Structure 1
Amino acid sequence: MKVIQFEDKPLAHYSYAIISGNEMVLVDPARDPKPYYLLAEKHNTKIKAVFETHPHADFVSSHLQIHKETGATIYVSKLVGANYPHQGFDDGNSITIGEIKFSAINSPGHSPDSITVIAVDDEKNHAMFSGDTLFIGDVGRPDLREKAGNMKAKREELAQSMYHTMQHKFNHLPNETIVYPAHGAGSLCGKNISTDSQSTLGRERKENWAFKKLTEEQFVSHILKDQPFIPSYFGFNVDINKKGADNLKNSIAKSTFHFKLDHSNLKNILIVDTRNKEDFNKNHLPHSINIMAQTEDDKFETWLGSIVKPGELFYIVVNSINERDNMLNRVAKIGYEKQLKGVITLSDVNYIESESLKLEEFKDRLDNFTIIDIRNKSEVEQGKVFESAISIPLNKLRDSKDSIPIDKPIVVHCAGGYRSAAGRSIISNLVENISVYDLGEEVNKFKK
């Protein structure tokens, strides 16, 4: 059994191609199908099937586009109520492609319509593509389907379902079964996911907390505690994936392009500036929010979908025309390309420059500043950096104008400097005649 794992690092998303002979199967493909097509060309294989383990919340899948362009059959649980051409794939269903038998296990918990896809080759090698049910070191969060999808379910109900899934659904599989999850560390679909990209079922049975001998009550209490925040776009993506996304290239082609913009007439519309904070601070358009997207380590997609609401129109600013296509693809990964008005590069016209914090003055006179901590609730609960800080998570900042004092200069901090750039830019748009500073990476000098 030949399994190729693809990683979308900003979203900590894993997708898979399984090759047997001259046939290929895909599991939970990302928005852009091109990498899978290139692999099929390289190995001279035909894409025969696409398995969707559930309607994903954190990214848009290309399953419908792949079906239209290759003729591959989409297999998904009948419980999804999918609006695209598909075959139901649930307990008792199986198909053979090449020399591999694929079968379905309904594995509710992360969502009520999740399946785990089991692959067994002619040498009895076992693999499980567990979607967002079983991660390495953790299981999927159960609190994303209360307001989205064909089947809505309360978090307590799904937590109970996950308990029974972990207790009963995989017992017949050998310890040697290789576990291939849909996400790794950094995903908001779980809270303590390992950095390992795969494991064995035997190892997970020994090390994963979800396989421990817990009562249902203990399990439910643990899984519901300290889950990360839910980004605005998660329910939006569930609905897109239930319907099937439009063709990627056609969809991103509709945004406009403004080269070396030399006048600011973009009033009453959000500007998302993706440049690094040094360039942003030197010069940026009014109403801009600085969500950096310079490397794969920048969690641009997650924060775009957390700060900007589904349906809200916006422009993005990039450094160069060379970045345009990449940024369009990153926006489309979370289905936001239809609300993107256009892409902008800036001319040398001076717009707005951000003030720099005088660190020594801040360090000596903390009481002269309002300090705003934009880390997530669970981070703050582990300990404050500044006792006097006001805690407002970044994803809630745009709606928190009334919670921000305006009697002193404001200093914004996060855990390491990436989020605070966005936070400073958001608060600057909310207050007038008050200096707003980004503590940035210097926050590390204040940690105990």
Structure 2
Amino acid sequence: MNIIQFEDKPLAHYSYAIISNDEMAIVDPSRDPKPYYQLAEKHNAKIIAVFETHPHADFVSGHLQIHNETGAKIYVSKLVGANYMHETFDDGDTVKIGEVTCSAINSPGHSPDSITIIAEDAYKNYAMFSGDTLFIGDVGRPDLREKAGNMKAKREELAKSMYHTITHKFNHLPDATLVYPAHGAGSLCGKNMSKDASSTLGKERNENWAFKDLSEDQFVAHILKDQPFIPSYFGFNVDINKDGSENFQLCIAIPTFQFQIVDFFNDGALIVDTRSKADFDTNHIPKSINIIAETEDDKFETWLGSIVKPNEAFYLVIKSIEDRDKILYRIAKIGYEKQLIGLMTLGETNFEGVEVLNFNDFENHQDKYTIIDVRNKSEVEEGKIFQNAIAIPLHQLRDAEVEIPTDKPIVVHCAGGYRSAAGSSIISNITNKVTVFDLSDDVTKFQ
């Protein structure tokens, strides 16, 4: 069997193609189907199946578009209650992809409707596509389905389900079984994932904490402790994926575009500026929020979906026309394209800049400033960088005006500079009483 892994780096998302005898199946596809079509053409394979391990929370899946454009059947658990044309795929169900037999294992824990796909070839080689159930070095978090999806479940219930899944569901599989998860390190669907893109079941049995000899209570306590925050868009994406998303190419063709604007009337909608910190600091539209999207290492999708609420209208500023399609794709990956009113480049028009922090004064007179730490709660618990800092996680900042003193200039910091760019621009928008500075990557001088 031929297995090809695809990686969406900003979302730390893995999807897969299984190819055998000129037939192809796709597991947990990204929203844009083009890479899978290109692969099918390269191998002269017909796409006959799409497997969805569960309704994903952190990205919009392209399963329905692939079905509409190729005729491939979508296989998903009956527990999802999917509102699109599909075949139910649960314990004991099988489907053939060429000479490969794919079977389903109901594996609740991350969600009540999760399945793991087991692929077996004629030589008794096994691969498991574990979705968000089994990660490399971890298991999926159980706290995302209390408010979204057809089957809502409390985190404690799902934590116990995960314990029983890990303890009982995969025991019949050999140690040599290849493990292909839907996410890797950097995803918010787990907390301690390895940077490895795949593993074997034997290695996970030896090294993954979830396979240790723990009681149910010990397992539940461990999995519930210190889970990362839940971005605003997660429940929104679960509901989109349960219904099936609209055509990707048509959706990103909708927003209006203004090239090198000379003025801008702010109608009250949010303005998201995706340019670098340097470009933003030099010139930006008043009341903009700087969520940087320069490279794949920038977690733009995650922070856009954490700062901007589902269905909240916003404008977008990009650096160049060359960035238009790339940025629209990144927005569509989390289903926010319909909220986008329009996008623009600034050209040579001067709007406003940012006042630069006098670093020496701050370093020597920190008591003259209010310091806001926008790192996540778990990071702050590991140790404050400035003992007198007020900790407000970035994703909560827009709703935290009453928590921010305005009797001194404000300095915003994170761990490395990316989040503080967004944080300082947010605070600048919610207060005009004092100057707001971004410590940026100078924070590393204090660590």
Conserved 8 A contact 2:258-2:343: yes
CA distance in 1, matches of 2:264, 2:370: 31
Alignment pair present for 1:295 and 2:292? no
Deviations 1:98-124 (A, max 9, x none): 000000000000000000000000111
2:401 aligned partner: 401
SS where residue 346 of structure 1 aligns? Answer: coil
Q: Matches of residues 16-27 of structure 1 in structure 2 within 5 Å?
A: 16-27=16-27
Deviation at 1:21, TM superposition (A): 1.4
Q: Normalising by structure 1, report the TM-score.
A: 0.99
CA distance in 1, matches of 2:338, 2:269: 15
Conserved 8 A contact 2:25-2:48: yes
Alignment pair present for 1:310 and 2:277? no
Conserved 8 A contact 1:3-1:16: yes
2:162 aligned partner: 162
CA distance in 2, matches of 1:46, 1:209: 39
Deviations 1:274-310 (A, max 9, x none): 0000000000001200000000000000000000000
SS where residue 127 of structure 2 aligns? Answer: strand
Percentage identity across paired residues of the two chains: 71
1:14 aligned partner: 14
CA distance in 1, matches of 2:49, 2:278: 46
1:270 aligned partner: 270
CA distance in 2, matches of 1:118, 1:50: 14
2:115 aligned partner: 115
Conserved 8 A contact 1:274-1:291: yes
CA distance in 2, matches of 1:233, 1:87: 27
Deviations 1:192-231 (A, max 9, x none): 0000000000000000000000000000000000000000
Q: Residue type matched to 2:242 in 1? A: K
Alignment pair present for 1:224 and 2:224? yes
Alignment pair present for 1:362 and 2:362? yes
Deviation at 1:253, TM superposition (A): 1.1
1:143 aligned partner: 143
Q: Which is further off, 433-442 or 222-231?
A: 433-442
Conserved 8 A contact 1:269-1:287: no
Q: Residue type matched to 2:417 in 1? A: G
Alignment pair present for 1:353 and 2:353? yes
Deviation at 1:433, TM superposition (A): 3.2
1:387 aligned partner: 387
Alignment pair present for 1:124 and 2:115? no
Deviation at 1:266, TM superposition (A): 2.2
Q: Matches of residues 50-61 of structure 1 in structure 2 within 5 Å?
A: 50-61=50-61
Conserved 8 A contact 2:19-2:97: no
SS where residue 151 of structure 2 aligns? Answer: coil
Q: Residue type matched to 2:262 in 1? A: D
CA distance in 2, matches of 1:298, 1:15: 20
SS where residue 343 of structure 2 aligns? Answer: strand
CA distance in 1, matches of 2:361, 2:267: 36
2:42 aligned partner: 42
Deviation at 1:182, TM superposition (A): 0.1
Q: Which is further off, 267-276 or 54-63?
A: 267-276
SS where residue 345 of structure 2 aligns? Answer: strand
Alignment pair present for 1:212 and 2:212? yes
2:191 aligned partner: 191
Deviation at 1:343, TM superposition (A): 1.1
Conserved 8 A contact 1:96-1:102: yes
2:279 aligned partner: 279
* Structure 2: gaps of 5 or more residues: none
1:321 aligned partner: 321
Deviation at 1:264, TM superposition (A): 1.9
Deviation at 1:376, TM superposition (A): 0.4
Q: Normalising by structure 2, report the TM-score.
A: 1.00
1:330 aligned partner: 330
SS where residue 261 of structure 1 aligns? Answer: coil
Question: Which portions of structure 1, spanning 4 or more consecutive aligned residues, are displaced by more than 3 angstroms?
Answer: none
Q: Residue type matched to 1:223 in 2? A: I
Q: Matches of residues 169-188 of structure 1 in structure 2 within 5 Å?
A: 169-188=169-188
Deviations 1:405-436 (A, max 9, x none): 00000000001110000000000001113111
Deviations 1:230-261 (A, max 9, x none): 00000000000000000001111111001111
SS where residue 315 of structure 1 aligns? Answer: strand
CA distance in 2, matches of 1:384, 1:145: 32
SS where residue 104 of structure 2 aligns? Answer: strand
CA distance in 1, matches of 2:283, 2:267: 17
CA distance in 2, matches of 1:344, 1:9: 26
2:422 aligned partner: 422
CA distance in 2, matches of 1:114, 1:202: 22
Deviation at 1:95, TM superposition (A): 1.1
Deviations 1:59-112 (A, max 9, x none): 000000000000000000000000000000000101111000000000000000
CA distance in 2, matches of 1:42, 1:356: 52
CA distance in 2, matches of 1:214, 1:201: 18
Deviations 1:322-377 (A, max 9, x none): 10000110000000000011111003121110011111110000000000000000
2:81 aligned partner: 81
Q: Residue type matched to 1:188 in 2? A: L
CA distance in 2, matches of 1:53, 1:415: 34
Q: Residue type matched to 2:51 in 1? A: F
Conserved 8 A contact 1:306-1:395: yes
Q: Residue type matched to 1:74 in 2? A: I
CA distance in 2, matches of 1:415, 1:14: 27
CA distance in 1, matches of 2:352, 2:78: 53
